[in-house]
Amino acid sequence: MSTHTRTSRLTVPQLVAMKGRQKIVSLTAYSSAIARVVDPLVDFILVGDSTAMVAYGRPSTLGMRLDETIAHTRAVVDSTRLACVIADMPFGSYQESHEQAFRNCAQVLASTGCDALKLEANQALASTVEFLVARGIPIMAHIGLMPQFVNAMGGYKAQGLSPDSAAALRADAQANLQAGAFSLLLEGVAEPVARAITEASDKPTIGIGASPACDGQVLVTEDLLGLGGDHVPRFVKQYADVGQVIREACARYADDVRDGAFPALQHCYGA
């Protein structure tokens, strides 16, 4: 089993220093139970706004609320001691103004104890990244397929497949790096474009549906466990069918209850 040898929580500077030295591993976690399991296995845990879809069954990430982000991130931080924890700022919490962005980002950092925040940021939002970084908030910039832009993009579509789209992605990457982002998350980006951005960047790139050349990879934990539902994105490799294990265990429990086999006296007090 691949585990790291750290004895304390990975810091943002340590994460940045991994570029070119060691592949960065990340998974999502939204609960204490999952966070405890992945903590010794990954370099950073992403508390994504995908919580809205995975934990609450909502149709998109747009409905994620700031108070929910704080609650889930706090649960992950309190349950871990080794992985860097990065929280995803929800839609509407940072786009209005620099001041709104700082107020909400500062609240998440102060309330949860997480290490950094992730923003979906094109060139237009790079100035927000710069404003936050200048005030001590480490920012991972998410470019490419940005789920918070799903309505503007007309769906969840891979980016960088045309010359114009590729050029826009390179410009987004450069703008965010110049703004001080410590890392770029590349989602749904054409492989050659993701590779080129990674090679041109002095900061680590994290891929999800991007390129093996990225400095690291992230997946939604439930997707790789087979708990993501009927639709499995192309970029997901399913490593286990935990859903089937859960169904079988719950079915055995239901049978035992209906047959009077559970609980037995050994499960009772004073028997």
* 99 appears as a binding residue in the annotation: no
H or E element that contains 25: strand 24-28
Is 26 labeled as ligand-binding? no
Both tokens assigned to 263: 């609980």
Residue pair 180/153 in contact (Cβ under 8 Å)? The answer is no
Q: Which of 261, 208, 202 is nearest to 236 (CA)?
A: 208
Angle between helices 163-179 and 191-200 (to 10 degrees): 30
Check residue 55 and report its DSSP letter: T
Query: Does the annotation list 118 as a binding residue?
Result: yes
CA nearest neighbour of 41 among 25, 30, 19, 29: 25
The phi, psi pair for 131, rounded to 5°, reads -60, -45
Decide if 159 contacts 120 (C-beta within 8 A): no
Q: Report the SS3 class of residue 254.
A: helix
Cα 48 from chain centre: 4
Nearest Cα residue to 211 out of 175, 186, 184:
186
Any idea which residues carry the catalytic annotation?
A: 187
162 is in an annotated binding site: no
Query: Residue 223, annotated ligand binder?
Result: no
Q: Could you tell me which residues come within 8 angstroms of residue 71 by beta carbon, excluding any fewer than 6 positions away?
A: none
User: What is the number of residues in the chain?
Assistant: 271
Binding-site residues from annotation:
49-50, 88, 118, 120
Binding-site residues from annotation for Mg(2+):
49, 88, 120
Binding-site residues from annotation for 3-methyl-2-oxobutanoate:
49-50, 88, 118
